[in-house]
Structure 1
Protein backbone atom coordinates (compact mmCIF):
# COMPACT_ATOMS: atom_id res chain seq x y z
CA UNK A 1 0.00 0.00 0.00
CA UNK A 2 2.89 2.36 0.74
CA UNK A 3 4.36 1.76 -2.72
CA UNK A 4 0.98 2.46 -4.36
CA UNK A 5 0.57 5.74 -2.45
CA UNK A 6 4.10 6.85 -3.35
CA UNK A 7 3.52 5.95 -7.01
CA UNK A 8 0.30 8.00 -7.09
CA UNK A 9 2.14 10.98 -5.58
CA UNK A 10 4.80 10.56 -8.25
CA UNK A 11 2.08 10.60 -10.92
CA UNK A 12 0.57 13.81 -9.49
CA UNK A 13 3.97 15.52 -9.43
CA UNK A 14 4.80 14.38 -12.96
CA UNK A 15 1.42 15.61 -14.22
CA UNK A 16 2.05 19.08 -12.82
CA UNK A 17 5.55 19.03 -14.30
CA UNK A 18 4.17 18.10 -17.74
CA UNK A 19 1.67 20.95 -17.75
CA UNK A 20 4.23 23.55 -16.66
CA UNK A 21 6.96 22.31 -19.03
CA UNK A 22 4.52 22.12 -21.91
CA UNK A 23 3.46 25.72 -21.33
CA UNK A 24 7.09 26.87 -21.44
CA UNK A 25 8.11 24.68 -24.41
CA UNK A 26 5.18 25.84 -26.54
CA UNK A 27 6.16 29.50 -26.07
CA UNK A 28 9.68 28.93 -27.40
CA UNK A 29 10.44 30.91 -30.59
CA UNK A 30 10.29 28.90 -33.80
CA UNK A 31 14.01 29.37 -34.51
CA UNK A 32 15.06 27.75 -31.20
CA UNK A 33 15.45 24.30 -32.75
CA UNK A 34 18.89 23.20 -31.54
CA UNK A 35 19.09 21.37 -28.19
CA UNK A 36 21.31 24.06 -26.64
CA UNK A 37 19.21 26.90 -28.01
CA UNK A 38 15.98 25.38 -26.72
CA UNK A 39 17.44 24.63 -23.28
CA UNK A 40 18.94 28.15 -23.01
CA UNK A 41 15.50 29.58 -23.64
CA UNK A 42 13.67 27.24 -21.27
CA UNK A 43 16.06 27.63 -18.35
CA UNK A 44 15.25 31.37 -18.25
CA UNK A 45 11.52 30.67 -17.97
CA UNK A 46 10.35 30.52 -14.30
CA UNK A 47 7.36 28.33 -15.21
CA UNK A 48 9.72 25.74 -16.74
CA UNK A 49 11.87 25.81 -13.60
CA UNK A 50 8.75 25.22 -11.49
CA UNK A 51 8.03 22.27 -13.74
CA UNK A 52 11.53 20.94 -13.10
CA UNK A 53 10.89 21.26 -9.36
CA UNK A 54 7.72 19.21 -9.72
CA UNK A 55 9.64 16.69 -11.83
CA UNK A 56 12.27 16.33 -9.10
CA UNK A 57 9.52 15.72 -6.53
CA UNK A 58 8.04 13.07 -8.82
CA UNK A 59 11.47 11.48 -9.16
CA UNK A 60 11.92 11.26 -5.39
CA UNK A 61 8.45 9.74 -4.93
CA UNK A 62 9.21 7.26 -7.71
CA UNK A 63 12.53 6.26 -6.14
CA UNK A 64 10.78 5.69 -2.82
CA UNK A 65 8.06 3.60 -4.51
CA UNK A 66 10.59 1.48 -6.38
CA UNK A 67 12.44 0.82 -3.14
CA UNK A 68 9.22 -0.74 -1.84
CA UNK A 69 7.97 -2.65 -4.91
CA UNK A 70 8.89 -3.76 -8.43
CA UNK A 71 8.72 -2.02 -11.79
CA UNK A 72 5.72 -4.08 -12.90
CA UNK A 73 3.62 -2.61 -10.07
CA UNK A 74 4.96 0.94 -9.71
CA UNK A 75 5.27 2.04 -13.34
CA UNK A 76 1.72 1.13 -14.51
CA UNK A 77 0.34 3.24 -11.66
CA UNK A 78 2.07 6.21 -13.28
CA UNK A 79 -0.58 5.94 -16.03
CA UNK A 80 -2.71 8.02 -13.66
CA UNK A 81 -0.46 10.90 -14.64
CA UNK A 82 -2.68 11.44 -17.70
CA UNK A 83 -5.99 12.10 -15.88
CA UNK A 84 -4.13 14.18 -13.31
CA UNK A 85 -2.61 16.16 -16.19
CA UNK A 86 -6.03 16.85 -17.68
CA UNK A 87 -7.42 17.85 -14.27
CA UNK A 88 -4.50 20.25 -13.74
CA UNK A 89 -5.06 21.82 -17.18
CA UNK A 90 -8.77 22.26 -16.42
CA UNK A 91 -8.04 23.74 -13.00
CA UNK A 92 -5.16 26.05 -13.96
CA UNK A 93 -6.78 27.36 -17.13
CA UNK A 94 -10.39 27.25 -15.88
CA UNK A 95 -11.65 24.77 -18.45
CA UNK A 96 -14.73 22.72 -17.65
CA UNK A 97 -14.30 19.02 -18.33
CA UNK A 98 -17.46 17.54 -19.78
CA UNK A 99 -19.09 14.17 -19.13
CA UNK A 100 -17.12 12.58 -21.97
CA UNK A 101 -13.82 13.55 -20.37
CA UNK A 102 -14.82 12.16 -16.98
CA UNK A 103 -16.00 8.91 -18.58
CA UNK A 104 -12.61 8.66 -20.30
CA UNK A 105 -10.84 9.19 -16.98
CA UNK A 106 -13.06 6.49 -15.47
CA UNK A 107 -12.26 4.06 -18.29
CA UNK A 108 -8.54 4.66 -17.87
CA UNK A 109 -8.71 4.18 -14.10
CA UNK A 110 -10.78 0.98 -14.36
CA UNK A 111 -8.38 -0.32 -17.01
CA UNK A 112 -5.43 0.25 -14.69
CA UNK A 113 -7.15 -1.57 -11.81
CA UNK A 114 -8.10 -4.49 -14.06
CA UNK A 115 -4.54 -4.74 -15.43
CA UNK A 116 -2.89 -4.73 -12.01
CA UNK A 117 -5.37 -7.14 -10.42
CA UNK A 118 -5.11 -9.56 -13.35
CA UNK A 119 -1.33 -9.35 -13.66
CA UNK A 120 -0.73 -9.64 -9.91
CA UNK A 121 2.86 -8.39 -10.27
CA UNK A 122 5.36 -9.66 -7.72
CA UNK A 123 8.80 -8.19 -7.09
CA UNK A 124 11.79 -10.17 -8.31
CA UNK A 125 14.87 -10.99 -6.28
CA UNK A 126 17.37 -11.05 -9.13
CA UNK A 127 20.00 -8.45 -9.93
CA UNK A 128 20.71 -8.21 -13.66
CA UNK A 129 24.13 -9.28 -14.91
CA UNK A 130 26.25 -6.87 -16.96
CA UNK A 131 25.43 -8.86 -20.10
CA UNK A 132 21.72 -8.33 -19.46
CA UNK A 133 22.23 -4.60 -19.03
CA UNK A 134 24.36 -4.47 -22.17
CA UNK A 135 21.64 -6.17 -24.25
CA UNK A 136 18.89 -3.98 -22.76
CA UNK A 137 20.93 -0.83 -23.41
CA UNK A 138 21.70 -1.68 -27.05
CA UNK A 139 18.08 -2.64 -27.78
CA UNK A 140 16.74 0.47 -26.04
CA UNK A 141 19.09 2.85 -27.87
CA UNK A 142 18.33 1.13 -31.18
CA UNK A 143 14.55 1.37 -30.77
CA UNK A 144 14.66 4.99 -29.59
CA UNK A 145 17.02 5.89 -32.44
CA UNK A 146 14.63 4.29 -34.93
CA UNK A 147 11.67 6.17 -33.48
CA UNK A 148 13.51 9.50 -33.61
CA UNK A 149 14.53 8.85 -37.24
CA UNK A 150 10.93 7.99 -38.13
CA UNK A 151 9.67 11.11 -36.33
CA UNK A 152 12.01 13.24 -38.46
CA UNK A 153 9.97 12.46 -41.59
CA UNK A 154 6.64 13.18 -39.90
CA UNK A 155 4.93 16.45 -39.11
CA UNK A 156 2.55 17.75 -36.47
CA UNK A 157 0.67 15.35 -34.23
CA UNK A 158 2.23 12.26 -35.81
CA UNK A 159 5.71 13.43 -34.89
CA UNK A 160 4.56 14.32 -31.38
CA UNK A 161 3.09 10.85 -30.85
CA UNK A 162 6.22 9.03 -32.06
CA UNK A 163 8.50 11.22 -29.96
CA UNK A 164 6.16 10.66 -27.02
CA UNK A 165 6.59 6.89 -27.42
CA UNK A 166 10.38 7.35 -27.58
CA UNK A 167 10.32 9.49 -24.43
CA UNK A 168 8.15 6.90 -22.67
CA UNK A 169 10.61 4.15 -23.53
CA UNK A 170 13.45 6.35 -22.28
CA UNK A 171 11.71 7.02 -18.98
CA UNK A 172 10.98 3.29 -18.56
CA UNK A 173 14.66 2.51 -19.04
CA UNK A 174 15.50 5.28 -16.59
CA UNK A 175 13.15 3.64 -14.07
CA UNK A 176 14.92 0.30 -14.56
CA UNK A 177 18.25 1.99 -13.82
CA UNK A 178 16.61 3.69 -10.85
CA UNK A 179 15.52 0.29 -9.54
CA UNK A 180 19.10 -0.96 -9.87
CA UNK A 181 20.35 2.12 -8.02
CA UNK A 182 17.90 1.56 -5.14
CA UNK A 183 19.27 -1.96 -4.67
CA UNK A 184 22.83 -0.61 -4.59
CA UNK A 185 21.71 2.07 -2.11
CA UNK A 186 20.10 -0.54 0.16
CA UNK A 187 23.20 -2.74 0.17
CA UNK A 188 25.89 -0.05 0.51
CA UNK A 189 24.82 3.62 0.50
CA UNK A 190 28.40 4.86 0.30
CA UNK A 191 29.03 2.99 -2.95
CA UNK A 192 26.15 4.65 -4.82
CA UNK A 193 28.20 7.63 -5.99
CA UNK A 194 30.92 5.35 -7.34
CA UNK A 195 28.57 2.88 -9.05
CA UNK A 196 27.56 3.10 -12.72
CA UNK A 197 23.72 2.83 -12.30
CA UNK A 198 23.44 6.27 -10.70
CA UNK A 199 25.26 8.03 -13.54
CA UNK A 200 23.55 5.96 -16.23
CA UNK A 201 20.19 6.83 -14.66
CA UNK A 202 20.98 10.57 -14.77
CA UNK A 203 22.14 10.37 -18.41
CA UNK A 204 19.08 8.36 -19.49
CA UNK A 205 16.76 10.69 -17.60
CA UNK A 206 18.22 13.83 -19.16
CA UNK A 207 18.03 12.35 -22.67
CA UNK A 208 14.42 11.31 -22.05
CA UNK A 209 13.60 14.78 -20.73
CA UNK A 210 15.03 16.35 -23.88
CA UNK A 211 12.99 13.96 -26.04
CA UNK A 212 9.90 15.00 -24.10
CA UNK A 213 10.61 18.69 -24.73
CA UNK A 214 10.81 18.06 -28.49
CA UNK A 215 7.62 15.99 -28.35
CA UNK A 216 5.83 18.85 -26.59
CA UNK A 217 7.21 21.30 -29.16
CA UNK A 218 5.97 19.13 -32.03
CA UNK A 219 2.32 18.87 -31.06
CA UNK A 220 -0.30 19.22 -28.37
CA UNK A 221 0.02 17.82 -24.88
CA UNK A 222 -3.05 15.66 -25.43
CA UNK A 223 -1.24 14.02 -28.36
CA UNK A 224 2.00 13.43 -26.45
CA UNK A 225 0.67 12.34 -23.07
CA UNK A 226 -1.28 9.20 -24.14
CA UNK A 227 1.71 7.92 -26.11
CA UNK A 228 4.02 8.61 -23.18
CA UNK A 229 1.73 7.10 -20.56
CA UNK A 230 1.07 3.88 -22.47
CA UNK A 231 4.61 3.16 -23.68
CA UNK A 232 6.24 3.81 -20.28
CA UNK A 233 4.35 1.19 -18.20
CA UNK A 234 4.35 -1.44 -20.95
CA UNK A 235 8.11 -1.12 -21.43
CA UNK A 236 8.64 -1.02 -17.66
CA UNK A 237 6.84 -4.33 -17.20
CA UNK A 238 9.11 -5.81 -19.87
CA UNK A 239 12.22 -4.46 -18.14
CA UNK A 240 10.98 -5.71 -14.77
CA UNK A 241 10.35 -9.24 -16.03
CA UNK A 242 13.41 -9.44 -18.27
CA UNK A 243 16.00 -7.81 -16.02
CA UNK A 244 14.84 -8.25 -12.42
CA UNK A 245 12.93 -11.51 -12.61
CA UNK A 246 9.61 -9.95 -11.64
CA UNK A 247 6.57 -12.12 -12.33
CA UNK A 248 3.14 -11.41 -13.78
CA UNK A 249 0.30 -13.86 -14.30
CA UNK A 250 -0.32 -14.98 -17.88
CA UNK A 251 -2.34 -17.81 -19.51
CA UNK A 252 -6.03 -17.22 -18.66
CA UNK A 253 -5.13 -13.96 -16.95
CA UNK A 254 -3.88 -12.59 -20.27
CA UNK A 255 -7.47 -11.90 -21.35
CA UNK A 256 -8.36 -9.41 -18.58
CA UNK A 257 -4.85 -7.96 -18.89
CA UNK A 258 -5.47 -7.19 -22.56
CA UNK A 259 -8.88 -5.77 -21.62
CA UNK A 260 -7.20 -3.55 -19.02
CA UNK A 261 -4.62 -2.28 -21.52
CA UNK A 262 -7.43 -1.70 -24.02
CA UNK A 263 -9.38 0.38 -21.52
CA UNK A 264 -6.26 2.39 -20.69
CA UNK A 265 -5.65 3.05 -24.38
CA UNK A 266 -9.33 3.86 -25.00
CA UNK A 267 -9.45 6.28 -22.07
CA UNK A 268 -6.18 7.90 -23.18
CA UNK A 269 -7.42 8.42 -26.74
CA UNK A 270 -10.78 9.79 -25.63
CA UNK A 271 -9.02 12.20 -23.28
CA UNK A 272 -6.74 13.27 -26.11
CA UNK A 273 -9.85 14.05 -28.17
CA UNK A 274 -11.53 16.05 -25.41
CA UNK A 275 -12.96 19.16 -27.19
CA UNK A 276 -12.43 21.62 -24.30
CA UNK A 277 -8.77 20.62 -24.00
CA UNK A 278 -8.12 20.67 -27.75
CA UNK A 279 -9.69 24.14 -28.06
CA UNK A 280 -7.31 25.36 -25.35
CA UNK A 281 -4.13 24.23 -27.15
CA UNK A 282 -2.21 27.03 -28.92
CA UNK A 283 -1.38 26.39 -32.56
CA UNK A 284 2.01 27.98 -33.08
CA UNK A 285 4.75 29.42 -30.91
CA UNK A 286 5.30 33.18 -30.93
CA UNK A 287 7.96 34.75 -33.14
CA UNK A 288 11.40 35.62 -31.80
CA UNK A 289 11.58 39.08 -30.22
Structure 2
Protein backbone atom coordinates (compact mmCIF):
# COMPACT_ATOMS: atom_id res chain seq x y z
CA UNK A 1 0.00 0.00 0.00
CA UNK A 2 2.82 2.41 0.83
CA UNK A 3 4.25 1.96 -2.67
CA UNK A 4 0.90 3.06 -4.14
CA UNK A 5 0.93 6.24 -2.00
CA UNK A 6 4.47 7.08 -3.08
CA UNK A 7 3.58 6.38 -6.72
CA UNK A 8 0.60 8.78 -6.53
CA UNK A 9 2.82 11.46 -4.97
CA UNK A 10 5.31 10.91 -7.79
CA UNK A 11 2.52 11.29 -10.37
CA UNK A 12 1.37 14.57 -8.79
CA UNK A 13 4.93 15.92 -8.72
CA UNK A 14 5.50 14.91 -12.35
CA UNK A 15 2.23 16.54 -13.40
CA UNK A 16 3.27 19.83 -11.82
CA UNK A 17 6.68 19.51 -13.48
CA UNK A 18 5.08 18.96 -16.90
CA UNK A 19 2.83 22.02 -16.59
CA UNK A 20 5.69 24.28 -15.51
CA UNK A 21 8.12 22.93 -18.10
CA UNK A 22 5.60 23.24 -20.93
CA UNK A 23 4.88 26.79 -19.74
CA UNK A 24 8.56 27.58 -20.27
CA UNK A 25 9.26 25.44 -23.36
CA UNK A 26 6.46 26.94 -25.46
CA UNK A 27 8.31 30.30 -25.48
CA UNK A 28 11.63 28.90 -26.75
CA UNK A 29 12.57 29.57 -30.42
CA UNK A 30 11.78 26.73 -32.82
CA UNK A 31 15.35 26.60 -34.18
CA UNK A 32 16.58 25.40 -30.77
CA UNK A 33 14.88 22.01 -31.19
CA UNK A 34 17.18 18.98 -30.66
CA UNK A 35 20.02 21.30 -29.55
CA UNK A 36 21.64 21.93 -26.18
CA UNK A 37 20.77 25.57 -26.79
CA UNK A 38 17.20 24.65 -25.84
CA UNK A 39 18.33 23.58 -22.36
CA UNK A 40 20.54 26.65 -22.02
CA UNK A 41 17.52 28.81 -22.86
CA UNK A 42 15.18 26.98 -20.49
CA UNK A 43 17.56 27.00 -17.53
CA UNK A 44 17.21 30.81 -17.39
CA UNK A 45 13.43 30.58 -16.92
CA UNK A 46 12.14 30.40 -13.30
CA UNK A 47 9.08 28.32 -14.22
CA UNK A 48 11.28 25.69 -15.88
CA UNK A 49 13.54 25.56 -12.81
CA UNK A 50 10.42 25.15 -10.68
CA UNK A 51 9.47 22.22 -12.91
CA UNK A 52 12.89 20.65 -12.34
CA UNK A 53 12.42 20.93 -8.57
CA UNK A 54 9.01 19.24 -8.88
CA UNK A 55 10.62 16.58 -11.08
CA UNK A 56 13.26 15.92 -8.41
CA UNK A 57 10.55 15.36 -5.82
CA UNK A 58 8.82 13.04 -8.28
CA UNK A 59 12.09 11.13 -8.69
CA UNK A 60 12.44 10.70 -4.92
CA UNK A 61 8.83 9.56 -4.51
CA UNK A 62 9.25 7.14 -7.42
CA UNK A 63 12.44 5.69 -5.91
CA UNK A 64 10.62 5.19 -2.61
CA UNK A 65 7.75 3.46 -4.44
CA UNK A 66 10.11 1.15 -6.34
CA UNK A 67 11.94 0.25 -3.13
CA UNK A 68 8.72 -1.14 -1.67
CA UNK A 69 6.82 -2.24 -4.80
CA UNK A 70 7.18 -3.92 -8.18
CA UNK A 71 8.07 -2.06 -11.37
CA UNK A 72 4.96 -3.41 -13.11
CA UNK A 73 2.79 -2.05 -10.27
CA UNK A 74 4.39 1.33 -9.62
CA UNK A 75 4.80 2.60 -13.18
CA UNK A 76 1.20 2.07 -14.37
CA UNK A 77 -0.01 4.14 -11.39
CA UNK A 78 1.94 7.06 -12.85
CA UNK A 79 -0.74 7.21 -15.56
CA UNK A 80 -2.68 9.29 -13.03
CA UNK A 81 -0.26 12.06 -13.96
CA UNK A 82 -2.42 12.86 -17.00
CA UNK A 83 -5.71 13.66 -15.20
CA UNK A 84 -3.72 15.46 -12.48
CA UNK A 85 -2.08 17.53 -15.23
CA UNK A 86 -5.51 18.38 -16.59
CA UNK A 87 -6.73 19.45 -13.15
CA UNK A 88 -3.65 21.63 -12.69
CA UNK A 89 -4.24 23.27 -16.08
CA UNK A 90 -7.84 23.89 -15.14
CA UNK A 91 -6.82 25.46 -11.84
CA UNK A 92 -4.01 27.60 -13.23
CA UNK A 93 -6.00 28.88 -16.21
CA UNK A 94 -9.46 28.94 -14.59
CA UNK A 95 -10.91 26.39 -16.99
CA UNK A 96 -14.12 24.64 -15.95
CA UNK A 97 -14.05 20.93 -16.71
CA UNK A 98 -16.97 19.75 -18.84
CA UNK A 99 -18.61 16.36 -19.34
CA UNK A 100 -16.17 15.25 -22.03
CA UNK A 101 -13.19 15.92 -19.79
CA UNK A 102 -14.64 14.02 -16.85
CA UNK A 103 -15.48 11.15 -19.20
CA UNK A 104 -11.81 11.09 -20.18
CA UNK A 105 -10.77 11.02 -16.51
CA UNK A 106 -13.24 8.18 -15.87
CA UNK A 107 -11.87 6.19 -18.82
CA UNK A 108 -8.29 6.67 -17.59
CA UNK A 109 -9.21 5.68 -14.04
CA UNK A 110 -11.19 2.60 -15.05
CA UNK A 111 -8.53 1.62 -17.58
CA UNK A 112 -5.78 1.81 -14.99
CA UNK A 113 -7.86 -0.15 -12.46
CA UNK A 114 -8.69 -2.82 -15.05
CA UNK A 115 -5.04 -3.14 -16.12
CA UNK A 116 -3.71 -3.48 -12.58
CA UNK A 117 -6.51 -5.73 -11.32
CA UNK A 118 -6.30 -8.12 -14.27
CA UNK A 119 -2.51 -8.19 -14.52
CA UNK A 120 -2.09 -8.52 -10.72
CA UNK A 121 1.68 -8.00 -10.90
CA UNK A 122 3.65 -10.04 -8.38
CA UNK A 123 7.26 -9.66 -7.21
CA UNK A 124 10.03 -11.07 -9.37
CA UNK A 125 12.80 -13.25 -7.98
CA UNK A 126 15.26 -12.96 -10.84
CA UNK A 127 18.28 -10.69 -10.96
CA UNK A 128 19.19 -9.68 -14.55
CA UNK A 129 22.82 -10.18 -15.52
CA UNK A 130 25.02 -7.83 -17.55
CA UNK A 131 24.15 -9.51 -20.85
CA UNK A 132 20.42 -9.05 -20.25
CA UNK A 133 20.99 -5.40 -19.37
CA UNK A 134 23.08 -4.95 -22.51
CA UNK A 135 20.30 -6.42 -24.68
CA UNK A 136 17.66 -4.27 -22.98
CA UNK A 137 19.85 -1.18 -23.47
CA UNK A 138 20.40 -1.85 -27.16
CA UNK A 139 16.70 -2.48 -27.79
CA UNK A 140 15.73 0.68 -25.90
CA UNK A 141 18.29 2.84 -27.68
CA UNK A 142 17.28 1.40 -31.06
CA UNK A 143 13.58 2.10 -30.53
CA UNK A 144 14.28 5.59 -29.17
CA UNK A 145 16.61 6.41 -32.08
CA UNK A 146 13.97 5.30 -34.59
CA UNK A 147 11.27 7.43 -32.94
CA UNK A 148 13.55 10.48 -32.84
CA UNK A 149 14.58 10.05 -36.48
CA UNK A 150 10.93 9.98 -37.56
CA UNK A 151 10.12 12.93 -35.28
CA UNK A 152 12.83 15.05 -36.89
CA UNK A 153 11.06 14.96 -40.26
CA UNK A 154 7.62 15.80 -38.82
CA UNK A 155 6.16 18.89 -37.16
CA UNK A 156 3.61 19.90 -34.57
CA UNK A 157 1.46 17.37 -32.73
CA UNK A 158 2.93 14.36 -34.58
CA UNK A 159 6.47 15.29 -33.54
CA UNK A 160 5.32 15.94 -29.96
CA UNK A 161 3.57 12.55 -29.77
CA UNK A 162 6.55 10.64 -31.20
CA UNK A 163 8.94 12.32 -28.79
CA UNK A 164 6.44 11.69 -25.99
CA UNK A 165 6.55 7.97 -26.75
CA UNK A 166 10.36 8.06 -26.89
CA UNK A 167 10.62 9.87 -23.55
CA UNK A 168 8.06 7.49 -22.00
CA UNK A 169 10.18 4.55 -23.13
CA UNK A 170 13.25 6.27 -21.72
CA UNK A 171 11.64 6.99 -18.37
CA UNK A 172 10.46 3.38 -18.13
CA UNK A 173 14.01 2.18 -18.72
CA UNK A 174 15.24 4.73 -16.16
CA UNK A 175 12.77 3.27 -13.65
CA UNK A 176 14.09 -0.24 -14.39
CA UNK A 177 17.63 0.98 -13.67
CA UNK A 178 16.34 2.71 -10.54
CA UNK A 179 14.86 -0.61 -9.40
CA UNK A 180 18.27 -2.21 -9.93
CA UNK A 181 20.02 0.60 -8.05
CA UNK A 182 17.73 0.26 -5.00
CA UNK A 183 19.15 -3.22 -4.40
CA UNK A 184 22.49 -1.77 -3.30
CA UNK A 185 20.96 0.75 -0.88
CA UNK A 186 21.54 -1.49 2.20
CA UNK A 187 25.26 -1.59 1.38
CA UNK A 188 25.64 2.13 2.09
CA UNK A 189 26.41 5.34 0.14
CA UNK A 190 29.84 4.21 -1.12
CA UNK A 191 28.39 1.10 -2.76
CA UNK A 192 25.56 3.21 -4.19
CA UNK A 193 27.89 5.78 -5.74
CA UNK A 194 30.12 3.09 -7.24
CA UNK A 195 27.22 1.10 -8.69
CA UNK A 196 27.05 1.04 -12.50
CA UNK A 197 23.22 1.06 -12.28
CA UNK A 198 23.19 4.45 -10.55
CA UNK A 199 25.23 6.16 -13.25
CA UNK A 200 23.35 4.38 -16.03
CA UNK A 201 20.11 5.57 -14.39
CA UNK A 202 21.41 9.16 -14.32
CA UNK A 203 22.40 8.98 -18.01
CA UNK A 204 19.06 7.44 -19.03
CA UNK A 205 17.15 9.98 -16.93
CA UNK A 206 18.98 12.96 -18.43
CA UNK A 207 18.48 11.60 -21.97
CA UNK A 208 14.77 11.06 -21.30
CA UNK A 209 14.47 14.55 -19.82
CA UNK A 210 16.10 16.02 -22.95
CA UNK A 211 13.60 14.15 -25.15
CA UNK A 212 10.73 15.36 -22.97
CA UNK A 213 11.84 19.00 -23.26
CA UNK A 214 11.91 18.65 -27.05
CA UNK A 215 8.46 17.03 -26.96
CA UNK A 216 7.05 19.89 -24.87
CA UNK A 217 8.77 22.37 -27.19
CA UNK A 218 7.22 20.74 -30.28
CA UNK A 219 3.53 20.64 -29.41
CA UNK A 220 0.83 21.19 -26.82
CA UNK A 221 1.06 19.56 -23.41
CA UNK A 222 -1.90 17.28 -24.07
CA UNK A 223 -0.32 16.11 -27.33
CA UNK A 224 2.67 14.94 -25.28
CA UNK A 225 1.07 13.60 -22.10
CA UNK A 226 -1.10 10.81 -23.60
CA UNK A 227 1.85 9.41 -25.56
CA UNK A 228 4.14 9.66 -22.54
CA UNK A 229 1.68 8.30 -20.01
CA UNK A 230 0.69 5.25 -22.04
CA UNK A 231 4.13 4.26 -23.35
CA UNK A 232 5.73 4.49 -19.88
CA UNK A 233 3.56 1.94 -18.00
CA UNK A 234 3.30 -0.48 -20.92
CA UNK A 235 7.09 -0.42 -21.36
CA UNK A 236 7.59 -0.76 -17.61
CA UNK A 237 5.48 -3.90 -17.46
CA UNK A 238 7.63 -5.33 -20.27
CA UNK A 239 10.85 -4.43 -18.41
CA UNK A 240 9.49 -5.82 -15.14
CA UNK A 241 8.56 -9.15 -16.70
CA UNK A 242 11.57 -9.45 -19.02
CA UNK A 243 14.32 -8.30 -16.65
CA UNK A 244 13.16 -8.99 -13.11
CA UNK A 245 10.89 -11.96 -13.67
CA UNK A 246 7.83 -10.16 -12.32
CA UNK A 247 4.70 -12.10 -13.12
CA UNK A 248 1.42 -10.93 -14.58
CA UNK A 249 -1.64 -13.02 -15.22
CA UNK A 250 -2.08 -14.29 -18.75
CA UNK A 251 -4.69 -16.54 -20.36
CA UNK A 252 -8.18 -15.05 -20.29
CA UNK A 253 -6.92 -12.12 -18.21
CA UNK A 254 -5.16 -10.77 -21.30
CA UNK A 255 -8.56 -9.66 -22.64
CA UNK A 256 -9.13 -7.44 -19.58
CA UNK A 257 -5.54 -6.20 -19.72
CA UNK A 258 -5.95 -5.15 -23.35
CA UNK A 259 -9.28 -3.55 -22.42
CA UNK A 260 -7.49 -1.56 -19.73
CA UNK A 261 -4.82 -0.38 -22.19
CA UNK A 262 -7.55 0.45 -24.69
CA UNK A 263 -9.38 2.58 -22.12
CA UNK A 264 -6.13 4.38 -21.32
CA UNK A 265 -5.67 5.17 -25.00
CA UNK A 266 -9.32 6.20 -25.38
CA UNK A 267 -9.22 8.45 -22.33
CA UNK A 268 -5.96 10.05 -23.46
CA UNK A 269 -7.31 10.65 -26.96
CA UNK A 270 -10.59 12.04 -25.62
CA UNK A 271 -8.73 14.42 -23.36
CA UNK A 272 -6.44 15.51 -26.19
CA UNK A 273 -9.49 16.41 -28.30
CA UNK A 274 -10.88 18.81 -25.70
CA UNK A 275 -10.46 22.13 -27.59
CA UNK A 276 -9.53 24.48 -24.72
CA UNK A 277 -6.75 22.15 -23.53
CA UNK A 278 -5.66 21.22 -27.04
CA UNK A 279 -5.31 24.87 -28.02
CA UNK A 280 -3.75 25.83 -24.66
CA UNK A 281 -4.68 29.11 -22.99
CA UNK A 282 -2.33 32.06 -22.95
CA UNK A 283 0.50 32.11 -20.42
CA UNK A 284 -1.23 34.74 -18.28
CA UNK A 285 -4.37 33.20 -16.74
CA UNK A 286 -7.56 34.84 -17.97
CA UNK A 287 -9.88 36.70 -15.66
CA UNK A 288 -13.26 35.39 -14.53
CA UNK A 289 -14.98 37.22 -17.36
CA UNK A 290 -13.14 35.11 -19.96
CA UNK A 291 -13.49 31.76 -18.19
CA UNK A 292 -13.43 28.86 -20.63
CA UNK A 293 -15.36 25.63 -20.40
CA UNK A 294 -13.40 22.43 -21.06
CA UNK A 295 -15.38 19.72 -22.82
CA UNK A 296 -19.00 19.66 -23.85
Specify if TM > 0.5: yes
Distance in 2 separating the partners of 1:155 and 1:7: 33
270-279 or 71-80, larger mean C-alpha shift: 270-279
Residue 92 (structure 2) pairs with residue 96 (structure 1): no
Maintained 8 Å contact 2:14/2:58: yes
Deviation at 1:281? Answer: 4.8
30-39 or 126-135, larger mean C-alpha shift: 30-39
Distance 1:247 1:187, change over 3 A: farther
Distance 1:5 1:237, change over 3 A: same
State the TM-score, normalizing by the size of structure 2.
Answer: 0.93
Residue 125 (structure 2) pairs with residue 158 (structure 1): no
Deviation at 1:153? Answer: 1.5
Maintained 8 Å contact 1:178/1:197: yes
Distance in 2 separating the partners of 1:48 and 1:226: 21
Distance in 2 separating the partners of 1:190 and 1:253: 44
Residue 190 (structure 2) pairs with residue 190 (structure 1): yes
Matched pairs, number: 283
Maintained 8 Å contact 1:96/1:276: no
Deviations 1:222-274 (A, max 9, x none): 11100000000000000000000100001011111111111111111101111
Q: State the partner residue of 1:110.
A: 110
Q: State the partner residue of 1:173.
A: 173
Q: State the partner residue of 1:212.
A: 212
Deviation at 1:96? Answer: 1.1
Distance in 2 separating the partners of 1:241 and 1:82: 25
Maintained 8 Å contact 1:97/1:276: no
- Indicate the SS of the match to 1:96: strand
Show the 5 A alignment for 1:10-159.
Answer: 10-33=10-33, 35-159=35-159
Distance 1:279 1:150, change over 3 A: closer
Show the 5 A alignment for 1:193-272.
Answer: 193-272=193-272
Maintained 8 Å contact 1:220/1:281: no
Distance in 1 separating the partners of 2:29 and 2:35: 13
27-36 or 265-274, larger mean C-alpha shift: 27-36
Distance in 2 separating the partners of 1:90 and 1:81: 14
Distance 1:271 1:7, change over 3 A: same
Deviation at 1:37? Answer: 1.1
Maintained 8 Å contact 2:223/2:278: no
Distance in 1 separating the partners of 2:144 and 2:58: 23
- Indicate the SS of the match to 2:170: helix
52-61 or 185-194, larger mean C-alpha shift: 185-194
Segments of 5+ residues of structure 2 without an aligned counterpart are 284-296
Distance in 2 separating the partners of 1:175 and 1:89: 26
Q: CA RMSD in A?
A: 1.3
Maintained 8 Å contact 2:3/2:65: yes
Deviations 1:75-133 (A, max 9, x none): 00000000000000110111111111011101100110011000000111221100000
Segments of 5+ residues of structure 1 without an aligned counterpart are 284-289
Deviation at 1:277? Answer: 1.1
